[in-house]
Structure 1
Amino acid sequence: MQSQILNFVRISLFTLLQPALLNRMLLRKITHHSSKSVYSQYSTMPKKSKTSKSNPKPTLPETPSGPVTKSKDGGIAIAIHAKPGAKQNAITDVSDEAVGVAIAAPPTDGEANAELLRYLSKVLELKKSEISLDKGSKSREKIIKVTASVSQEDILEKLRREAAG
């Protein structure tokens, strides 16, 4: 009877401890195998990707940076920093960011925008229908769109000439 009790205790302990023992054995196998794979994975240097600097893509010639740029629809965009309420119309400066334009009209009811378009059409020697306000109707930072067939360089040259006086 004593042997039966001992066998029962052994079997009971084995069934109770079996999941823990199995888990421990599995963990040993997993860590043993994973440590091998980690070691073998980094035993050599990783390969560089194909997008290295040794083979750069050819770049297109950049358009001249500055206030006059090509727009997506094929026209020309001019960045303007408007200064309404001046005594007379004038181009104050031509920087890399924008063309500073003093406008002799108050900034109410679109009067300054209309005067800006009239003045720029005169300076650029374009028809009023070939120039329009694209963005910034209520802001000092404006984008003027030119639809005439003129080059960026011509527009920039005329603006600089007017700024010089």
Structure 2
Amino acid sequence: MSCQTARFCFRSIGLFTQCERSCGVEKSSLFTGVNQLSLQRSFSQSKMPKKDKTSKSTQKQPETPAGPVSTLKDGQLAISIHAKPGAKQNAVTDVSSEAVGVAIAAPPSEGEANAELVRYLSKVLELKKSEIVLDKGSKSRDKIIKVSASISKEEVLEKLQREAAS
């Protein structure tokens, strides 16, 4: 058995004394050779390219809404509103890609601003008050309004933008 073969074999099972006897090699030089060999192997393995784990997964990215008006699963429309209570008069201030800014002429106490918001939006969208419901955000400035009437997203956006322009 050659000394290199013994290094490979004895490295895994730890029988360094047999190598000393058969090859006449000192224990310290065998340890040095084994340590150098293990360093070379670990160094060469660290240069291997790693697999990209994200390429295999088929994760769906959430869709970003095209505007403040979106269609729900049940066919109703949802309008994102950023309310500004305590204004002098009711007005649609802006229509951005995230929300519709609405100034409300009612104080933000005891649900007065929410009731006024629903009343004002029913007037702007030319719908009944019963077809417009505050879904989320009763105590927040960011609100979601549900519209149960048969009206398209484009019509709602058009009416809101027309009101914002005037």
Q: Same fold (TM over 0.5)?
A: yes
Q: Distance in 2 between matches of 1:98 and 1:145?
A: 14
Amino acid at match of 2:159: K
Q: Distance in 1 between matches of 2:88 and 2:65?
A: 35
Amino acid at match of 2:146: K
- 2:68 matched to 1:72? no
1:8-157 mapped onto 2 (5 Å cutoff)? 64=66, 66-157=67-158
Q: Distance in 1 between matches of 2:156 and 2:130?
A: 16
Q: What SS class does the counterpart of residue 106 from structure 2 fall into?
A: coil
TM-score by length of 1: 0.63
Task: Spell out, residue by residue over 1:63-92, the C-alpha distance to the aligned partner (whole angstroms, 9 max, x if none).
Answer: 63x110112332100000000000000000
Q: Distance in 2 between matches of 1:94 and 1:78?
A: 11
1:8: which partner in 2?
A: none
Q: Distance in 2 between matches of 1:52 and 1:97?
A: 31
The percentage of aligned residue pairs carrying the same residue is 78
Q: Distance in 2 between matches of 1:92 and 1:144?
A: 17
What count of residue pairs does the alignment treat as equivalent? 138
Q: What SS class does the counterpart of residue 133 from structure 2 fall into?
A: strand
Q: Distance in 2 between matches of 1:149 and 1:52?
A: 43
Amino acid at match of 1:100: G
Q: Distance in 2 between matches of 1:63 and 1:85?
A: 29
Q: What SS class does the counterpart of residue 144 from structure 1 fall into?
A: strand
Runs of 4+ in 1 over 4 A off after TM superposition: none
Structure 2, gaps ≥5 residues long = 1-50, 59-63
TM-score by length of 2: 0.63
1:11: which partner in 2?
A: none
Task: Spell out, residue by residue over 1:39-64, the C-alpha distance to the aligned partner (whole angstroms, 9 max, x if none).
Answer: xxxxxxxxx9xx979xx9xxxxx863
Q: Based on CA coordinates, which of the two structures has the bigger radius of gyration?
A: 1
Superposed CA RMSD in Å reads: 3.6
Structure 1, gaps ≥5 residues long = 1-47, 57-61
